[in-house]
Amino acid sequence: MDRFIDVAPGVRLWAEDHGAPDAPPLLLIMGAQASGIGWPDELVGLLAAHHRVIRYDHRDTGRSTWAFDRQPYPITTLADDALAVLDAFGAERAHIVGMSLGGMLAQLLIADHPERLLTATLIGTGALSTAPWTHPDGTRIPPGELPGIDPRLLELWSRPVTDQGPEAEVERRTDHWRLLNGDRLPFDPEYFRALERRVIEHTGDHATNTAHAQADPSGMLRTEHLARTTVPALVVSAPAEPVYPPPHAHHLAQAIHGAHLVEIPGMGHALPPEVHAPLATAILAHTAGR
């Protein structure tokens, strides 16, 4: 069932839940500029066999309010929005799964609101920590010296986006997914075209939005809080990750106290059908009994 949630004056978020209402809640937090519909139905269904799965549209995505130009906000506000979604569904404590920017928001929740979390799973994201990564040979590498974003993505992101109609926009987004998917798993353009057509239908518009790229990212480091947290954390390692390439996941797992790491073979910065079952298995193993 879907609903709208008022999180600030003039700002409403769209959200929906799947699964038994009395099952342990699990909140899915998507990445920058990404609607909650970006969480594939197949993956949601696998998780909903054991959880009340909640997904939602960030402000300035999907059916939620698009108002950044009138009401700018810092990135940290998006973490507050996640808590507001939990409140609206009556979830005093919940499992959370965050991808990309959603993984950073999950880290903010781990650090600032641990009492609200049962577990956290982090996918395709970087650590909100200045702690160095310790290589297996003992070398300590500062976060700023870890590998950067795939240059092909940086080149794509540098291109101006012009409105040439919904089908041209679907193709542009599909090309983006082709790079995000990485080079190890087969890329099925029809799968991602269908996903983006559904996102556009859900949103009611094919327009792009750069609000999250414009939002103030300051005040997000949580080095000490992450280093002493007691929230059970799972870090997903994606060997073909082009945005936070290896060893970012290993660095993240070291930065969060007690975190453990699981690798999803072939995974990049996307959620194609090949990763749904192994990813759900890893998440459910992490949430089981907690």
Per-residue CA distances from 240 to 105, 149, 184, 270 (Å): 23, 12, 6, 10
- Cβ-count burial of 263 within 10 angstroms (0-12 exposed, 13-18 middle, 19+ buried)? middle
Domains of the chain, by residue range, sit at: 2-148+209-287
**Cα 26 vs. chain centroid, distance in angstroms?**
13
Helices (H), 246-287: 248-255, 273-287
Q: Which two tokens mark 159? A: 């291109």
Q: Which residues contact 194 (CB under 8 A, 6 or more apart)?
A: none
Helix axes 76-88, 101-112, angle to 10 degrees: 70
Q: Which residues contact 288 (CB under 8 A, 6 or more apart)?
A: 50
pLDDT at 117 over 90: yes
Mean pLDDT, residues 213-230: 98
The CATH number of 2-148+209-287, from 3.40.50.150, 1.10.10.60, 1.10.3720.10, 3.40.50.1820, is 3.40.50.1820
Q: Give 52-81 pLDDT, tens digit per residue.
A: 999 999 999 999 999 999 999 999 999 999
Mean pLDDT, residues 26-37: 98
CB 236 within 8 A of CB 122: yes
* Mean predicted lDDT score pLDDT of the chain: 97
pLDDT band at 289 (very low <50, low <70, confident <90, very high): confident
Q: Give 130-143 pLDDT, tens digit per residue.
A: 999 999 999 999 99
Got the DSSP string for 221-255?
A: --HHHHHH--S-EEEEE-TT-SSS-TTHHHHHHHH
CB 82 within 8 A of CB 89: no
pLDDT at 283 over 90: yes
3-state secondary structure of 77: helix
52-56 and 11-18 strand pairing: antiparallel
At residue 1, the pLDDT reads 83
pTM value is 0.97
Mean pLDDT, residues 282-287: 98
DSSP state of 144: G
At residue 101, the pLDDT reads 98
Residue 75, CB half-sphere, CA atoms under 13 Å: how many?
24
Buried b vs exposed e over 111-148: b needs ≥16 C-beta within 10 Å? bebeebbbbbbbbbbbbbbebbbeeeeeeeeebeebee
Mean pLDDT, residues 214-224: 97
φ, ψ for residue 19, nearest 5 deg? 105, 180
Mean pLDDT, residues 25-46: 98
Q: Give 155-203 pLDDT, tens digit per residue.
A: 999 999 999 999 999 999 999 999 999 999 999 999 999 999 999 999 9
Per-residue CA distances from 245 to 123, 146, 175, 250, 260 (Å): 12, 9, 19, 10, 18
- CA separation for the pair 254, 222 (Å, rounded): 14
Per-residue CA distances from 173 to 50, 107, 283 (Å): 32, 27, 27
